[in-house]
Amino acid sequence: MTTLSAHRAEGHLKRVRAVLGGRVVVDTLAPVLVWEWPYYPTYHLPVADVDLDALPTTAVRRLVLDVDGRPTDLVRVEWSAMDQWFEEDEPVEVHPRDPYVRIDALASSRHVEVAVDGVVLADSTRPTVLFETRLPPRFYLPLPDLRLDLLRPSDTVTRCPYKGTATYWSVELPDGTWHPDLFWTYRAPVAESQKVAGLAAVWTEKVDLRLDGVPQDRARTHFEVPGT
């Protein structure tokens, strides 16, 4: 059994369940959200609410959580080892939702210009700006406002617990330069992000962005690291 010191931990008010092979193996009304790193929490679960006999030993870590000097006996179940997680009766993807993360998608008339290597890729005055806690604003643009002739469908798919499943386009410039997975879209986002459905966003970490004619510094986030 391991003793873990967390950045932060707090009780969660939602019922949490996990299913493996058609069987409910986690069912708790007393999950603990633990921030083992800054970006999002993990579920730590009371031992009595986890069917340990039904889980692979490699998927379970039993530990004592040391919060404010108070030891608590909990279990952490490997997220990817489960077929599906639920908060109440709604599925949760990727990782537990952080109760301190908020999504606001707001219609805007700001003039958004996106370029890379001097080539304009998008020019729009009808963006939807998505504000997400601890991330820079993301500008979601109508597809007709993009250089669709330069976009190439990508096989990349990512999932977000707050927005849903995203598919991507790479960009091939007229000189043949390739910029992989530069734009993405949520074709069928979760309910709280419906306002960006079918619109395209771009990694502002990787392009030149002008807002109302004013050049912007490139965003600095952990997504600058390849593969994140």
Q: Which helix (H) or strand (E) holds 2?
A: strand 2-5
> For 224, which DSSP code?
G
- pLDDT the model gives residue 223: 64
Q: Where are the beta strands (DSSP E) in 148-199?
A: 151-160, 164-172, 178-185
Mean pLDDT, rounded, of the chain: 91
Q: What is the distance between the alpha carbons of residues 153 and 147, in angstroms, rounded to a whole number?
A: 13
In this structure, are residues 171 and 179 in contact, taking their beta carbons and an 8 Å threshold? yes
Q: 167-171: list long-range contacts, CB under 8 Å, 24+ apart.
A: 169/200, 171/116, 171/121
- pLDDT the model gives residue 220: 82
Share of the chain above pLDDT 70, in %: 91
pTM across the whole model: 0.84
**Highest CATH level, class, for 2-92:** mainly beta
In this structure, are residues 64 and 90 in contact, taking their beta carbons and an 8 Å threshold? no
Listed in sequence order, the DSSP H helices in the chain are none
- pLDDT the model gives residue 125: 98
Average pLDDT of the residues in 68-86: 86
Categorize the per-residue pLDDT at 7 as very low, low, confident or very high, splitting at 50, 70 and 90. low
- pLDDT the model gives residue 1: 47
All CATH 2.170.150.40 domain ranges of the chain, comma separated, are 2-92, 103-224
| DSSP 3-state of 148 | helix
Whether residue 154 is predicted with pLDDT greater than 50 in this model: the reply is yes
The pLDDT tens digits of the residues spanning 8-32 come to 788 889 999 999 999 999 999 999 9
Categorize the per-residue pLDDT at 219 as very low, low, confident or very high, splitting at 50, 70 and 90. confident
CATH classification number, 103-224, choose in 3.10.180.10, 1.10.357.10, 2.170.150.40, 3.90.700.10: 2.170.150.40
